[in-house]
Structure formats: structure tokens, C-alpha cells
Structure 1
Amino acid sequence: MQVTETLNDGLKRGYAITVTAAELDAKVEEKLKEAQPTIEMKGFRKGKVPMALLRKQYGERLMGEAMQDSIDSAVRDHLDSSGDRPAGQPEMKMSNPDWKPGDDVLVDVSYEKLPDIPAVDFAKITLERMVVKADDAAVQEALDNLAASPQAMTYETKKTQAKKDDQVVLDFVGKVDGEAFEGGTAEDYPLVLGSNSFIPGFEDGLLKVKTGDVKDVEVTFPEEYQAAHLAGKTAVFTCTIKDVRAPKAPEINDELAAKFGAEDLATLKTQIADRLEAEYSGASRALAKRALLDALDGVVSFELPKALVEAEANQIAHQLWHEENPDVHGHDHPEITPTDEHQSLAQRRVKLGLLLADIGQKADVKVTDQEMTQAIMNQARQYPGQERQFFEFVQQNAQFRQQLQAPMFEDKVVDHIFAAATVTEKDVSKEDLQKAVEKLEEE
């Protein structure tokens, strides 16, 4: 077998591989000998079929396998010896497509290799990290929001008409074409007007009702409604109003704290302060991470595989097009051509992706099985009642597992760099942090 370099241009590599007819024949012979002890054929005992007959019966099929095995082996050996890491699946093409048994096999192999990435002195990277403390005013604001939340709100009967944010207790019967439908009937149902917990139009139809009223409310189910037999249908709900109640915010005390699982008000305040500071810390970390990526982008330079950049630019352009055209869900749309802006963003993403992957590999950064399991469990909580099906989907879908693992790996690499970089902390207000986050989101 012979491997000859035909292209060496930047990251592009090309090789001509020659597998001789003799090598192929020897490979076929090897495969036949391996299989011979297990083969049965009429007129011969198991394992006693002559090699010539086996070659006649199976030789053509095994020739194809031998050809593929030989080429794959040659490519593997070359990559091992050269240290090249292809940026994508190597392209292989026979250069003698009119091949016939007895001929040598000639194959052209080409690929773009991943670049050699220069080392970075993390200690020379200087970053500033915002620190925000949860002060009394922020804790009080959060307490006020809790007191005004549906979980804490209480309601008192009123004699006036129902308005937005009031609670209406009612019986209702829904009918489509004069026939009651499953799930369209309820008694003593407490509904907060403006909560948007019913289909559009239903709650608006109950504004200005009073206790004792009976009112028909006509609504149309959305075209995308989950119950297909009701989607797009017009329904009439006959509503009997049994009580109209005005909202009353509870006092902020130990009783309110108990509603949210805290032992007392002081404990609840501590929990709120901890949660707020965790939120502030998360926002601050996101800002510091962006600053770090900007710094890395500025200090490191290396050639990028054109195929990776092109694929990333196409994906960015496609995603942004669908965001601008949300009504188009499939791929039946005009061809989308990436702009210079898409290309520039793609180059940054590919560059930083390769850099972080290289840093993580050299630092032996790994996402543990325990971390993956926790991430899968967190995802499963988004599908209540379908957790088992979700776990089965994850087990069978390697691509989805990779999608879960990739951001976790990236965050661990970022933390590794943070630990070695020069990071100073700066105390700022919540408002300053919010402005910085808003500015980042606008970019």
C-alpha cells in the first residue's frame, strides 16, 4: 500500500492511496480463512468447504469489504503518523472508477485538518468582575412581589362588577355546535381575570359580571390548540357567576413566609437575599465570560478550516432568517445566503470553539457522569409525566447528549481560565449591573 501527498495548502491536505491487487487478494484470502470454519455448504461438512469454492461464492462481496478495510486502515495509519485531526469527515473518491478485479485500487483522499493552536498565557489576561450585594431595598422589593403573587394573594367577596385582577367563582358548560364537549364543564371554578389561564377571549367576556349573573361567552379555539377536535372551532360557554372577589395582598409576616416554605419572615428574607445574590452572580459571570472571550479573540490568531466557518455561517443565517420569519417552520423557503456579518460571527465562533476545546483537552477538563446525569434530570423536569420517555430518548440519542454536554464543558473551561487569569472584583449597584447586561444583549 502506498500513500502519496498530493496537496499541502494551508489546512488543506490531499493524498493518493494505492492498494495493490495483491494486497486486496491477500485480504480476501484472510477473510475467507476466518469464515471457513463456520460455513456449511451442500455436499461438504461444516468447515470443510474448499477455499476455491468459497472464493467463487463469497469472493466478490468480500472484495468490497477488503477494499474498504484497506482504505480505512491506510487513512487511520496516516492520521496516527501525521498527527492530523480532520475538521470533518475526509472525502474519498476512486480515481480509477472503471476498476475491475485484478487491478490496483486508486483512491484520492482530501480533508481540512484542525489547526495547531498557540498556547495562551492566561495570567496576562486581566478581567473585571462586578459584585452586587442584595441590600435591604432589593429584599423588600422581592418580598412585595411575593406578596402580590397569585400564590400569596387572598380574595374577598365584593358587590360591584368584576374587573381585571378580580377572582370570579363560576360554573360553566362549554358547547360546540350545541353539543357539550369533554373538558368544557366545571363547577365552583376560581378564575382570576387577566391571568390568561383560559383560551383568548374567555376572561375578557367575564369583565363587568356580578354575582348571580348568567352569561354566554363565545370564544374561538386557536388553530394550534392541543385538542385537535377543538382547534379552530367556535364554542359558547354558559357561565353562572357564583361569587366575585377582589384581590387583597397579605401582610408581610411569618404567615406569608410559611406559604413559601420558610420557617419565619427572617428566614424568608435570608433565602431571598441568597437567591438575589445568586442571580446577580450569574449575570456578573455572563459579563465576565463575554469579556474573557473578547480578550481571547484578541490575543490568539490561527488559520480556520473554511468548511467549519462556511457551515457555521450558513447555520447562523438560517437561524436568523427563521427568527425574522416565525411563521415559516419548515425548510420550504428561498435559498439563504450568509452576509459578511454572518461570516464574521461564524469566524469568531469557530475560532473560540476550537480554542476552548484545545484548552480543555490540554487541561484534561471533563464533564463527569454525575454532572451529565444531573443535567439530564434537570431537562426531564420540563416534561412532567413523561420523564421515562425522555430518559429513553436521551439514551438513544448521542447527538442530544452532546448538545447537553457542550455548554457544560465550555463553562468548565471558562472557569479553568478564570482561575489562572487576573480577575479583580468591583462593587457596583444592581442598576449598574442591569445596564451592563442590557448593553450586552443589544450587541
Structure 2
Amino acid sequence: MQVTETLNEGLKRGYAIKVTATELEEKVNEKLAEAQPEIEMKGFRKGKVPMPLLKKQFGQRLMGEAMQETIDGAMSKHFEDSGDRPAMQPEVKMTNEDWKEGDDVEVALSYEALPEIPDVDLKSVTLEKLVVKASESDIEEALGNLAETAQEFEPRKKGSKAKDGDQVVMDFVGKVDGEAFEGGAAEDYPLVLGSDSFIPGFEEQLVGVKAGEEKAVTVNFPENYQASHLAGKEAVFDCTIKEVKQPVAAKIDDELAKKFGADDLAALKSQIGERLEAEYAGASRAIMKRALLDALDDMVSFDLPPSLIEAEAGQIAHQLWHDENPDVQGHDHPEIEPTEEHVKLAERRVRLGLLLAELGQKAEVEVSDAEMTQAIMNQARQYPGQERQFFEFVQQNPQMQQQLRAPLFEDKVVDYAFELATISDKEVSKEDLQKAVEAMENE
């Protein structure tokens, strides 16, 4: 076998690989000899089929296997000897397309090598950690929001008109073309006006009704309504209003605390404070992570594989296009050309991605099976009732596993960098933290 370098330009590499006909024939004979003891053929005892007959019967198929294995072996040995790591799947192409049995096999191998990543001194990185304590007013505000979610409704004064946010208790019967339809009637139904739980346009027509009043509500079912026999049709609902109730926030006391699983109000306040500070810490970490990545980006410079830049820029452009065109769910749209801004962002992402991967490898950072399982379970919760199917799908899909593993690995490398960096705490207000988050998101 001969391997000859044909291209060495920046990160681009090219090699011509020649596998001689003699090597291939030896490989085929080796495979036949290995299989011969187990082969049975009419007219011969097991293991006694002559080699020429075996070659005639199986030689062509084994030749293909021999070619593939030999070329794969040559590639593996090349990467082992050279130390190169391809940025993407190498391109392998047979150059003597008129090949016939007895000829040498000539193959062109081309790829972009991953660059040498320079060492960085993480101990020289200085970062500021924003620290926010949950104030009494923050806790009281969160407590008030909880009380609103636990609100109850009490009857309004007789003759009062229903307002947006009120609860209307009513009987109703829905009709299409004068005929009542299945599922279109209910008694003593409590409907909160403004909850958008009914067909669009329904609740708005009940604003202003009084207890004891009858109201005909006319609406059109949406064209994409789940019941196809009603989709797009006009319906009239005859409503009899029985009660109009106003919302009343729950009292902030020990009873409210128990509704949310706390022993008493003091314990609930303590839990709220811890939750708020955990939220603040999460936002603070995101800001500090951005500062770390900015620092690392300034510290390193190395050649980047063009193929990775092109792929990343295309993905960024595609994602941003869909963000701006949320109505387009599929990929049936014009080709999206990345801009210079997309390419610049792609270069940063690729550079930092390669650097973090190198740091993680040197620090022997690993994502454990338990961490992966937890990540899959968290993702599966987005598919209620289909958690098991999602779990099995991920287990059988290496690409999906990598998508879930990558952010876990990155966060662990970032934590490793935090341990070595010099970090100083800075106590700030919730408002200052929010401004810092907005500034980061607007960059």
C-alpha cells in the first residue's frame, strides 16, 4: 500500500492511496481460508470445498469487503501516524473508476484537519460575579403573585355587570344551522372572562352581562378546529347567566402556605427567598459565562476549518430566518444565504467550541450516565404521556444523544474554568442584574 501526500495547505489535506492487486488478492484468500472450514456445498463435505471453487462463488463479494477494509485500515493508520483529527467526515473517492479485478485500487482521501489549539492560562482570567440577595419586598411581591394564582371568586352585588377577569356561571346550548351539536352544551359552567378558554370572540361578548340575563353569543369556529364537522362554521350559543363573581386574592396566611406545601407562612417565605436567589444565581452565572467566553475569545487565535465555519454560519442563518418567520414550520422556503455577520458569529462559536473541547479533554471532563439520564428525563417532560417513547427514541439515536450531551459537557468545562479563574463577588440590586441580562441578550 502506498500513501502519497497531494495537498497540505492550511488545514486542508489530500492523499493518494494505492492498494495493489496483490494485497487485495491476499486479503481475499485470507478471508476464504478463514471461512472454508464452515462452508458446505453440494457434492463436498463441510470444510472440503476446493479453494478455486470458493473463489469463483464468493470472491467477487469478498473483493468488495477487502477493498473497504484495506482502505479503512489505511485511513486509520494515517490518522494514528499523523495525529490529524478531521474536522468533518473525510471525503474518500475512488480515482480509477474503470477498475477491474486484477488492477490496483487508487483512492483520493481529502479532509480538513482540526487545528492545534494553543494552551490558555485559566488562572489569569479575572471575572466578576453579580450577587443578588432576595429582599423582603421581592419576597412579598412573589407572595402576592402566589396569592393571585390561588384566588377564589365571590358573588358580585346583585345587578352588577360582568367585567374582564370575572367568573360567569352559566348554562349554555350551542347550535349550528339551528341544530344543537354534541359537546356544545353545559350547565353551571364557570367561565373566567379573558381566560381564552373558549372559541375566539365568545368571552368578549359576555362582558357586561348580569345574573339572570339571557344572552345569544354568535361565533365562528376556526377553520382548523379539531372537530372537522364544525370547522369554519357559524354557531350560536344561547347562554343563561346564573351568577357573576369577582376574583378575590387568597389571604396571605398559614393556610395559603399549606396550599403550596409549606408548614406555615414563615416557611413559605423562606422557600420563596431561596427560589428567588436561585433564579438570580442562574442569571448571574449566565453573565459570568459570557464574560469567560469573551475573555477566552480574546486570548486565543488559530486557524479555523472552513467547512465548520460554513456549516455553522448556515445553521445560524437558518435558525434566525425561522425566528423571524415563525409561521413557516417546515423547510420549504428559499435558500438562505449567510451574511458577513452570520459568518463572524460562526467563527466565534467554532473557535470557542474547539477551545472548550480541548480544555475539557485535557481536564478529563466527562458527562456521566446519570447526568445524561437526567437530561433525557427533563427533555421528556415536554412530551406528556409520551415520555417512554421519547426516552427510547433518544437511546436509539446517537445524534440526539450528542445534542443533549454537548451543552452538559460545555457547562462542566465552564465550571472547571470558573474553579481556576479569579472571581470576585459584587453585590448588586435585582434591577442591576436585570439590566446586565438585557445588555448581554442585546449584544
Residue 180 of structure 1: CA displacement? 4.8
Alpha-carbon distance in structure 2 between the residues aligned to 1:35 and 1:183:
70
Residue 300 (structure 1) aligned with residue 300 (structure 2) = yes
Alpha-carbon distance in structure 2 between the residues aligned to 1:256 and 1:324:
43
1:245-295 C-alpha deviation (Å, 9 max, x unpaired): 011122211122122121111011001100100010000001000111111
Aligned partners of 1:380 and 1:390 also within 8 Å: yes
Residue 232 of structure 1: CA displacement? 4.0
**Is 398-407 or 345-354 further displaced after alignment?**
398-407
Q: What's 2:284 paired with?
A: 284
Structure-2 change in CA distance of 1:335 and 1:380 (3 Å): closer
Q: What's 1:338 paired with?
A: 338
- In the TM superposition, 1:8-407 aligns within 5 A as 8-149=8-149, 151-159=150-158, 160-177=160-177, 180-227=180-227, 230-407=230-407
Q: Structure 2 counterpart of 1:2, which letter?
A: Q
Alpha-carbon distance in structure 2 between the residues aligned to 1:181 and 1:387:
35
Residue 224 of structure 1: CA displacement? 4.5
Alpha-carbon distance in structure 2 between the residues aligned to 1:90 and 1:53:
38
**Is 385-394 or 364-373 further displaced after alignment?**
385-394
Structure-2 change in CA distance of 1:204 and 1:414 (3 Å): same
Aligned partners of 2:166 and 2:244 also within 8 Å: yes
Q: What's 2:431 paired with?
A: 431
Alpha-carbon distance in structure 1 between the residues aligned to 2:63 and 2:69:
10
Alpha-carbon distance in structure 1 between the residues aligned to 2:391 and 2:129:
38
Structure-2 change in CA distance of 1:290 and 1:103 (3 Å): same
Structure-2 change in CA distance of 1:258 and 1:331 (3 Å): same
Structure-2 change in CA distance of 1:253 and 1:58 (3 Å): same
Alpha-carbon distance in structure 2 between the residues aligned to 1:214 and 1:32:
91
**Is 335-344 or 246-255 further displaced after alignment?**
246-255
Q: What's 1:409 paired with?
A: 409
Structure-2 change in CA distance of 1:282 and 1:18 (3 Å): same
Alpha-carbon distance in structure 2 between the residues aligned to 1:183 and 1:376:
38
SS in 2 for 1:171: strand
Structure-2 change in CA distance of 1:238 and 1:361 (3 Å): farther
SS in 1 for 2:403: helix
1:18-71 C-alpha deviation (Å, 9 max, x unpaired): 100001011111222222233332222333222111111111111111111110
Aligned partners of 2:151 and 2:248 also within 8 Å: no
Aligned partners of 2:28 and 2:66 also within 8 Å: yes
Alpha-carbon distance in structure 2 between the residues aligned to 1:77 and 1:33:
25
**Is 352-361 or 390-399 further displaced after alignment?**
390-399
Structure-2 change in CA distance of 1:395 and 1:173 (3 Å): farther
May I ask how many residue pairs the two structures share in their alignment?
A: 442
Structure-2 change in CA distance of 1:267 and 1:310 (3 Å): same
Q: Structure 2 counterpart of 1:21, which letter?
A: A
Residue 386 of structure 1: CA displacement? 1.9
Q: Structure 2 counterpart of 1:152, which letter?
A: Q
1:202-233 C-alpha deviation (Å, 9 max, x unpaired): 22122122223333323334444455555444
Aligned partners of 2:394 and 2:400 also within 8 Å: yes
Alpha-carbon distance in structure 1 between the residues aligned to 2:181 and 2:52:
75
Q: Structure 1 counterpart of 2:155, which letter?
A: E
Structure-2 change in CA distance of 1:259 and 1:152 (3 Å): farther
Structure-2 change in CA distance of 1:368 and 1:175 (3 Å): farther
SS in 2 for 1:204: helix
Q: Structure 2 counterpart of 1:155, which letter?
A: E
SS in 2 for 1:119: coil
Q: Unpaired runs of 5+ in structure 2?
A: none
**Is 70-79 or 165-174 further displaced after alignment?**
165-174
1:297-325 C-alpha deviation (Å, 9 max, x unpaired): 00111111000000000111111112222
Aligned partners of 1:79 and 1:85 also within 8 Å: yes
Aligned partners of 2:201 and 2:219 also within 8 Å: yes
Aligned partners of 1:215 and 1:239 also within 8 Å: yes
Identity %: 71
Aligned partners of 1:154 and 1:250 also within 8 Å: no
**Is 201-210 or 94-103 further displaced after alignment?**
201-210
Alpha-carbon distance in structure 2 between the residues aligned to 1:44 and 1:335:
62
Aligned partners of 1:147 and 1:153 also within 8 Å: no
Alpha-carbon distance in structure 2 between the residues aligned to 1:227 and 1:424:
60
Structure-2 change in CA distance of 1:93 and 1:167 (3 Å): same
Aligned partners of 2:310 and 2:343 also within 8 Å: yes
Residue 394 of structure 1: CA displacement? 1.8
Q: Unpaired runs of 5+ in structure 1?
A: none
Alpha-carbon distance in structure 1 between the residues aligned to 2:117 and 2:335:
34
SS in 1 for 2:202: coil
**Is 118-127 or 367-376 further displaced after alignment?**
367-376
1:140-187 C-alpha deviation (Å, 9 max, x unpaired): 1111111222x3344334431211010112233344455555544433
Aligned partners of 1:152 and 1:256 also within 8 Å: no
Alpha-carbon distance in structure 2 between the residues aligned to 1:179 and 1:30:
82
Residue 238 of structure 1: CA displacement? 3.2
Aligned partners of 2:153 and 2:245 also within 8 Å: no
